[in-house]
């Protein structure tokens, strides 16, 4: 069974990888590949962003090159740096199928959202002129064509955004891209014996979401992340179709959570393990000043390796101590809500019979049905529930706060601004809807297990 291979090879990986210190040059010849960051596009000076969805080919695991897709490259897309203000994007598509660029986590109007109603047809362009106006955060973008999102994201149509206000030095945060500020796209992918990337979801995969047998980080397998001996910032994106990670370090060192999906926490929160569901981002600080570098692992109890680190003493550690404060306290939305909605993510009986059954409040997604309208500027409380398995719930156009999880206060991972939250049972969220969305380009709300989303666990709302 593929899954067992994955765990077996992961165990070997840990034994081989645990705690190596490599000096300068050690990366050159016989040692594993050094992890590369996605290329950068800095839009701050120009206020412009041009990207093209294109076909390419990528070799993984030393296997043959296979067809993949990406934004302006063969697999995945560049890391886009942006700041608040106008941003004119120009998205091209040289593929033979419609794609889109959805700005997951951006608080922008529906007509710029890039969801299923805004396909970029083959050979054409989409040119949204956005007004970026939100707190600094690690955001992401991906294709969002209904019934094709899972396949397209799997094959590479996703990338990371750094929204910055240029004040990371004041906050005492590392910010040198690829040196002490690493962007890590976590994806599990499935490979056949010849090392070819495969996506062939079975009935079970459709039910539980597709799980791969190998980890790719930034599209690379088995690469080692070089870090300086000091405090390093890791910006993690769970870009997997369905896998939930419970991340920890092999030597148990603390993880200092500093940001959730929508921005910074007031101060770092020390954790041993933290959860990252599909679509979620987290920024963490890790102290690499000790003599050995640990392995980033997932799922205590059934642990497997995610990413190996190695110290590189030629890299300068600009930050050597943890900041005790990052931001002023978060604005609270508690008590401001004027409307309550119940939203249940359903896996109904139909699915057991081989049919659909993926729905929200009993209704499978329909491009032509608007589920409700939210008053522009209002705060709403949504009581979101899951059936059968925990579903990661995502809302477009907002950042929300988690009010409660199964009646308890939110866990640290969910204590800041969020746009995606794993809902094991019943989770209450509060959101202020600050951006309009018309019935032509409504906002989506959906499960971020991409197989569930494509199968109909998605709805849409307008804001006016
Ligand atoms: Cu990450 Cu509706 O999207
Ligand atoms: Cu989104
Ligand atoms: Cu789901």
Determine the Cα–Cα distance for residues 290 and 95; give it in Å rounded to an integer: 47
Give the closest residue (by CA) to ligand 1 atom 3.
Answer: 104
198 Cα to the center of ligand 2, angstroms: 25
Summarize the confidence of residues 53-82 as an average pLDDT: 94
Q: Are 257 and 284 in contact (CB under 8 A)?
A: yes
Q: Are 310 and 24 in contact (CB under 8 A)?
A: no
In tens, the pLDDT along 260-307 reads 999 999 999 999 999 999 999 999 999 999 999 999 999 999 999 999
Determine the Cα–Cα distance for residues 2 and 306; give it in Å rounded to an integer: 17
Summarize the confidence of residues 442-453 as an average pLDDT: 98
Determine the Cα–Cα distance for residues 313 and 277; give it in Å rounded to an integer: 33
pLDDT for residue 194 = 87
For the CA of 142, the closest atom of ligand 1 is: 1
104 Cα to the center of ligand 1, angstroms: 5
Q: Are 245 and 185 in contact (CB under 8 A)?
A: no
In tens, the pLDDT along 76-118 reads 999 999 999 999 999 999 999 999 999 999 999 999 999 999 9
pLDDT for residue 399 = 98
pLDDT for residue 28 = 40
291 Cα to the center of ligand 3, angstroms: 42
In tens, the pLDDT along 401-425 reads 999 999 999 999 999 999 999 999 9
Summarize the confidence of residues 158-184 as an average pLDDT: 98
CB-based pocket (< 6 A), ligand 1? 102, 104, 142, 144, 279, 394, 396, 444, 446, 448
pLDDT for residue 376 = 98
Q: With b meaning 16 or more CB within 10 Å and e meaning fewer, what string describes 123-149?
A: eeebebebebebbbbbbbbbbbbbebb
123 Cα to the center of ligand 2, angstroms: 24
For the CA of 105, the closest atom of ligand 1 is: 1
Q: How confident is the model at residue 387 (pLDDT cuts 50, 70, 90)?
A: confident
pLDDT for residue 355 = 53
Residues 6+ positions from 365 with CB-CB distance below 8 Å: 146, 359, 446, 453, 456, 457, 458, 459, 460
The answer on pLDDT for 143 being more than 50 is yes
The answer on pLDDT for 25 being more than 50 is no
pLDDT for residue 446 = 98
The ligand whose atoms approach the alpha carbon of 158 most closely is 1
The ligand whose atoms approach the alpha carbon of 262 most closely is 2
- Cα angle for residues 414, 419, 421 (degrees, 5° grid): 45
For the CA of 444, the closest atom of ligand 1 is: 2
162 Cα to the center of ligand 2, angstroms: 16
The ligand whose atoms approach the alpha carbon of 419 most closely is 2
The ligand whose atoms approach the alpha carbon of 449 most closely is 3
Which residues does residue 429 pair with via DSSP β-bridges, in sequence order? 382, 402
Q: How confident is the model at residue 4 (pLDDT cuts 50, 70, 90)?
A: very low
Q: How confident is the model at residue 6 (pLDDT cuts 50, 70, 90)?
A: very low
In tens, the pLDDT along 172-186 reads 999 999 999 999 999
Q: With b meaning 16 or more CB within 10 Å and e meaning fewer, what string describes 160-184?
A: bbbbbeeebeeebbbbbbbbbbbbb
394 Cα to the center of ligand 1, angstroms: 7
DSSP 48-84: EEEEEEEEEEEE-TT--EEEEEEESSSSB-PEEEE-S
For the CA of 102, the closest atom of ligand 1 is: 3
331 Cα to the center of ligand 1, angstroms: 25
The answer on pLDDT for 389 being more than 70 is yes
105 Cα to the center of ligand 2, angstroms: 6
Q: Are 124 and 93 in contact (CB under 8 A)?
A: yes
102 Cα to the center of ligand 1, angstroms: 7
The ligand whose atoms approach the alpha carbon of 447 most closely is 3
What's the burial of 443, exposed, middle or buried (CB within 10 Å: 0-12/13-18/19+)?
buried
The answer on pLDDT for 23 being more than 70 is no
For the CA of 396, the closest atom of ligand 1 is: 2
pLDDT for residue 300 = 95
Q: How confident is the model at residue 32 (pLDDT cuts 50, 70, 90)?
A: confident
In tens, the pLDDT along 315-362 reads 999 999 999 999 999 999 999 999 999 999 998 755 555 556 899 999
Give the closest residue (by CA) to ligand 1 atom 1.
Answer: 104
Q: Which of 220, 147, 208 has its CA nearest to residue 184?
A: 220
Q: Are 27 and 226 in contact (CB under 8 A)?
A: yes
pLDDT for residue 377 = 98
For the CA of 140, the closest atom of ligand 1 is: 1
The answer on pLDDT for 8 being more than 80 is no
132 Cα to the center of ligand 1, angstroms: 18
pLDDT for residue 356 = 62
In tens, the pLDDT along 33-50 reads 999 999 999 999 999 999
pLDDT for residue 388 = 86
The answer on pLDDT for 30 being more than 60 is no
The ligand whose atoms approach the alpha carbon of 106 most closely is 2
Q: Which of 203, 303, 294 has its CA nearest to residue 255?
A: 294
In tens, the pLDDT along 211-269 reads 999 999 999 999 999 999 999 999 999 999 999 999 999 999 999 999 999 999 999 99
Say whether 197 sits in a helix, a strand or coil.
strand
Q: Which of 421, 416, 281 has its CA nearest to residue 343?
A: 421
**Window from 208-212, 345-349, 439-443 with minimum mean pLDDT:** 345-349
For the CA of 420, the closest atom of ligand 1 is: 1
Could you tell me if residue 166 is left (phi over 0), alpha (psi between -120 and 50 degrees) or otherwise beta? left
For the CA of 115, the closest atom of ligand 1 is: 2
pLDDT for residue 16 = 31
């Amino acid at each position: 069974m593929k899954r067992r291979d994955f765990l077996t090879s992961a165990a070997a990986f840990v034994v081989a990888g645990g705690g190596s210190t490599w000096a300068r040059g050690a990366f050159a010849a016989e040692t594993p590949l050094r992890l590369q960051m996605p290329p950068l596009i800095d839009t701050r000076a120009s206020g412009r962003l041009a990207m093209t969805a294109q076909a390419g080919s990528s070799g993984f695991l030393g296997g043959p090159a296979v067809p993949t897709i990406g934004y302006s490259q063969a697999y995945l897309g560049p890391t886009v740096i942006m700041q608040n203000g106008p941003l004119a994007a120009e998205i091209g598509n040289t593929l033979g199928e419609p794609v889109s660029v959805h700005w997951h986590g951006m608080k922008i109007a529906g007509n710029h959202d890039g969801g299923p109603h805004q396909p970029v047809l083959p050979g054409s362009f989409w040119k949204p002129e956005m007004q970026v106006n939100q707190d600094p955060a690690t955001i992401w973008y991906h294709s969002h064509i209904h019934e094709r999102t899972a396949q397209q994201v799997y094959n590479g149509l996703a990338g990371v955004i750094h929204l910055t206000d240029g004040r990371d030095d004041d906050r005492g945060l590392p910010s040198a891209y690829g040196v002490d500020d690493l962007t890590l796209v976590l994806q599990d992918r499935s490979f056949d014996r010849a090392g070819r990337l495969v996506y062939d979801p079975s009935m079970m995969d459709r039910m539980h979401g597709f799980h791969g047998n190998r980890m790719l980080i930034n599209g690379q397998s088995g690469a080692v992340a070089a870090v300086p001996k000091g405090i390093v910032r890791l910006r993690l994106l769970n870009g997997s179709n369905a896998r939930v990670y419970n991340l920890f370090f092999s030597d148990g060192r603390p993880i200092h959570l500093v940001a959730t999906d929508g921005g910074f926490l007031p101060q770092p929160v020390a954790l041993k393990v933290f959860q990252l569901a599909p679509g979620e981002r987290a920024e963490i600080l890790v102290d690499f000043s000790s003599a050995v570098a640990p392995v980033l692992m997932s799922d205590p109890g059934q642990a497997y390796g995610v990413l190996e680190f190695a110290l590189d003493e030629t890299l300068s550690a600009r930050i050597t101590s943890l900041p005790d404060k990052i931001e002023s306290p978060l604005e609270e939305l508690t008590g401001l809500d004027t409307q309550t909605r119940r939203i249940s993510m359903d896996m109904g009986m139909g699915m057991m019979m081989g049919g659909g059954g993926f729905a929200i409040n009993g209704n499978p997604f329909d491009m032509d049905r608007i589920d409700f309208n939210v008053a522009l500027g209002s705060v709403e409380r949504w009581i979101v529930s899951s059936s059968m398995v925990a579903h990661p719930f995502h809302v477009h156009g907002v950042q929300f706060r988690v009010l409660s999880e199964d009646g308890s206060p939110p866990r640290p991972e969910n204590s800041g601004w969020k746009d995606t939250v794993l809902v094991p049972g019943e989770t209450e969220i509060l959101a202020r809807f600050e951006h309009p969305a018309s019935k032509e380009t409504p906002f989506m709300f959906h499960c971020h297990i991409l197989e569930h989303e494509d199968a109909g666990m998605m709805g849409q709302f307008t804001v006016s």
